[in-house]
């Protein structure tokens, strides 16, 4: 079956979470993604600042592991972009590409001579997506950072945690994966649609801070309307009310409750044997008592026993699963969100499945993560280079 992005050629210059996640989404949907990888140990400022630790070969990383879902459905070519021949090869690849995704610091691509202005002059249909922490403009554009720094600046971190406690640091799924990688994929897809209308590619500037801030659209709308700064752990969506909360159960596991609507709250009260609470959902003075009773009641049964009861009573409830439990959840299995992919020698590797389900043009997992430079000869052969040229360039370190 054809996939939604069949025929779209993507060059992937990324290394860390947001970029590889962006290109994984594109690859899963059928795009032909080529990873452009540094053929030897890191060089330049990174290596100088880190000393011996900064010169470890990229080949020792998790990038090429068959367990690494972010590298699936991709090919790998090892090119030294700081060499004249490596740069020439890359520019030739870019002339045939539909999309480039990179996550260099602002200005690095220009210093390397592979920036959007140079490449688009040779390929006007090129879509160039740059994913950075703070974007290509503004006073923070040159600052280094990671997920926690971006969500702190965007206001997201201020909303995570319990009342009177320091903010809870979430895993790096907010800025890296949602704010950066997912917004990057959305930007690329929108630019492809726009290209169908205009015939031209364009530059897509993705900031992980911007993406994280955008996730707070509703929270900011409320703040702009009433001028009240939400305090973590005190709103209806983060544990400020007993009927939208997390409760410890008899087996030291957790059940999640989200009975916000009056009918769901009434069903919850009936299931817990406390119909007397039904009229008091919006009574703030009654909430401490309700929270205390709920806390005590949920400790009388196991998590799975409560889920069995509540899920049959039209109540918004869910089990808090740990990662080892998720693959066995029947809904996860029914949606094929944990899959087994066959590798060399018939060995099976579990990975996260494809989230977007298409009725006519589904995505697929066609290959596992490639080894660094695994497809160099194949890709350069398609560009018309001879074996003698490849041998010479490999000897010089321009390719791997």
DSSP secondary structure letter of residue 33: E
Supply φ then ψ for residue 248, to 5 degrees.
-75, 140
Angle of CA points 22, 168, 185, to nearest 5°: 10
Place of tokens 């997912």: 182
The residues, any chain, with a CB within 8 Å of residue 104's CB and separated by 6 or more, are 13, 130, 132
CB 218 within 8 A of CB 155: no
The DSSP annotation for 37-56 comes to: E-SSS--THHHHHHGGGGG-
Tokens for 246? 């997390």
Tell me which residue of 135, 160, 145 sits closest to 216, measured CA to CA. 160
Q: Tell me how many helices (H) and strands (E) the chain has.
A: 15, 11
Residues recognised as catalytic: 146, 176
Cα 247 from Cα 320, distance rounded (Å): 10
DSSP secondary structure letter of residue 7: T
Supply φ then ψ for residue 316, to 5 degrees.
-75, 100
State how far the alpha carbon of 255 is from the alpha carbons of 21, 287, 317, 370, in Å.
Answer: 30, 19, 7, 40
Q: Is 94 exposed, middle or buried (0-12, 13-18, 19+ CB in 10 A)?
A: buried
């Amino acid at each position: 079956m054809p996939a939604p992005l069949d025929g779209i050629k993507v060059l992937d210059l990324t290394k860390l979470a947001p970029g590889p996640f962006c290109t994984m989404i594109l690859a899963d949907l059928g795009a032909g993604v080529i990873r452009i990888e540094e053929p030897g140990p890191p060089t330049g400022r990174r290596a100088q600042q880190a000393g011996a630790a900064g010169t470890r070969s990229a080949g020792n990383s998790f990038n090429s592991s068959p367990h690494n879902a972010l590298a699936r459905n991709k090919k790998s070519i090892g090119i030294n972009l700081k060499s004249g021949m490596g740069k020439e090869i890359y520019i030739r690849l870019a002339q045939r590409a539909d999309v480039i995704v990179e996550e260099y610091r602002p200005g690095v691509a220009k210093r390397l001579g592979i920036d959007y202005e140079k490449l688009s002059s040779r390929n006007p249909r090129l879509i160039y997506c740059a994913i950075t922490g703070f974007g290509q403009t503004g006073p923070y554009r040159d600052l280094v950072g990671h997920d926690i720094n971006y969500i702190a600046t965007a206001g997201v971190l201020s909303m995570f945690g319990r009342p009177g406690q320091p903010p809870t640091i979430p895993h790096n799924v907010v800025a890296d994966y949602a704010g950066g990688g997912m917004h990057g994929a959305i930007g690329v897809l929108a630019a492809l649609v726009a290209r169908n209308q205009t015939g031209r590619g364009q530059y897509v500037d993705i900031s992980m801070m911007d993406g994280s801030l955008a996730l707070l659209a509703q929270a900011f709308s409320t703040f702009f309307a009433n001028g009240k700064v939400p305090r973590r752990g005190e709103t209806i969506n983060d544990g400020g009310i007993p009927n939208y909360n997390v409760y410890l159960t008899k087996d030291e596991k957790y059940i999640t409750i989200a009975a916000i609507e009056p009918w769901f709250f009434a069903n919850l009260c009936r299931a817990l044997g406390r119909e007397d609470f039904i009229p008091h959902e919006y009574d703030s003075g009654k909430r401490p008592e309700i929270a205390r009773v709920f806390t005590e009641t949920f400790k009388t049964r196991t998590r799975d026993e409560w889920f069995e009861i509540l899920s049959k009573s039209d109540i918004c409830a869910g089990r808090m699963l740990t990662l080892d439990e998720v693959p066995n959840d029947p809904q996860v299995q029914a949606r094929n969100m944990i899959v087994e992919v066959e590798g060399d020698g018939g060995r099976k590797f579990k990975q996260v499945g494809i989230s977007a389900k298409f009725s006519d043009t589904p995505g697929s997992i066609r290959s596992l993560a490639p080894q660094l430079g695994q497809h160099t000869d194949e890709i350069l052969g398609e560009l018309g280079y001879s074996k003698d040229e490849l041998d010479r360039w490999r000897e010089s370190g321009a390719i791997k």
